[in-house]
Amino acid sequence: TSQDIDKGSFAPIYYQLQELLVGKIESGELKPGDKLPSENELAEKYNISRNTAQKAIRALVNWGLAQRVQGKGTYVCNKSVTLSITASLSLTSEIIGLNKVPHSHILQAKVIEASLDIANKLEVKKDTKVYSIQRIRSVDDLPLMIQTSYIPVFYLPNLLKKNLEDKSLFGVIMHEYGIKIDKASETMRAVPVTKFEGEMLKIPEFSPAFLLQRQTYLNDGKVLEYAKTIVRGDKSKFYVDLNKKELNI
């Protein structure tokens, strides 16, 4: 039957098919590990061309919703991780709240002299000694993001002597240093990943990603941390809750 495809619609047929398949994945009708119908099966079921079906399947693969297995077919991937834009400074806490297992692996942790850009973000003088801590953040063994945090050394003496592997950095800051955080501001934009970022996240170079840039503030208004995070776009999505005031209702 072709009842779900409207050939008289303004929307292209391949787009209608890909949205139909996305809906089945999002609803759970098609679960992770399920095999998608072949291009020939889709073409026959919806009375469309094989090329049109192929285009829809290719879109799902490009979005990370499905993956091709040579000689076997195309299968539904694990669902994306849905993160709140405003909920928590601690990814570890948020992931645990989603009943998933967070992992954090340190790529490098060292003291550097702040460049002009980093100094401006931290509101300190150029060449101020700051920690540069770069981590791979994973969810259920899926590498999800690369996060680099910059923190003035004078706030956290001997931080690099702490065990930071697989721990929440903010958990260490608050519980071991007793530092209270007031607020954070964050921007988000779309970027392609570099070759290095792609290798670390196990995705091709130039794959779409989110760039998050965050400044975290202490109660006195001073900047404690500047963080730059690359989040792979094929396995993540963000949401935000708006109240009546923000909706101007």
What are the tens digits of pLDDT across the range 154-205? 999 999 999 898 888 988 999 999 999 999 998 888 888 999 999 999 988 8
* pLDDT tier for residue 2 given thresholds of 50, 70 and 90: very low
Domain ranges of the chain: 13-76, 81-239
pLDDT exceeds 70 at position 6: yes
The amino acid present at 29, given as its one-letter code, is E
Cβ–Cβ < 8 Å for 181, 197: no
Task: Compute the distance between CA of residue 155 and CA of residue 28 in angstroms, rounded to an integer.
Answer: 47
Tracing tokens 């949205």 back to the chain, one arrives at 19
Task: Compute the distance between CA of residue 94 and CA of residue 102 in angstroms, rounded to an integer.
Answer: 9
pLDDT of residue 91: 53
Task: Compute the distance between CA of residue 158 and CA of residue 211 in angstroms, rounded to an integer.
Answer: 29
pLDDT of residue 86: 55
How is domain 13-76 classified at the CATH fold level? Arc Repressor Mutant, subunit A (1.10.10)
Q: What is the pTM of this model?
A: 0.71
Helix (H, G, I), strand (E, B) or coil at 215: strand
Task: Compute the distance between CA of residue 208 and CA of residue 236 in angstroms, rounded to an integer.
Answer: 11
| 198-231 as b/e: b if 16+ CB within 10 A | bebbebeeebebbebebbbbeeeeebbbbbbbbb
Per-residue pLDDT of 68-115, as tens digits, reads 998 899 999 876 666 655 554 545 444 444 556 778 899 999 999 999
How is domain 81-239 classified at the CATH fold level? Chorismate lyase (3.40.1410)
Strand 81-84 relative to strand 129-139, pairing: unpaired
Residue of 184, 171, 239, 183 lying closest to 210 (CA atoms) = 239
Task: Compute the distance between CA of residue 233 and CA of residue 145 in angstroms, rounded to an integer.
Answer: 10
* CA distance readout (Å), 156 to 72, 220, 240: 53, 16, 32
Task: Compute the distance between CA of residue 165 and CA of residue 137 in angstroms, rounded to an integer.
Answer: 11
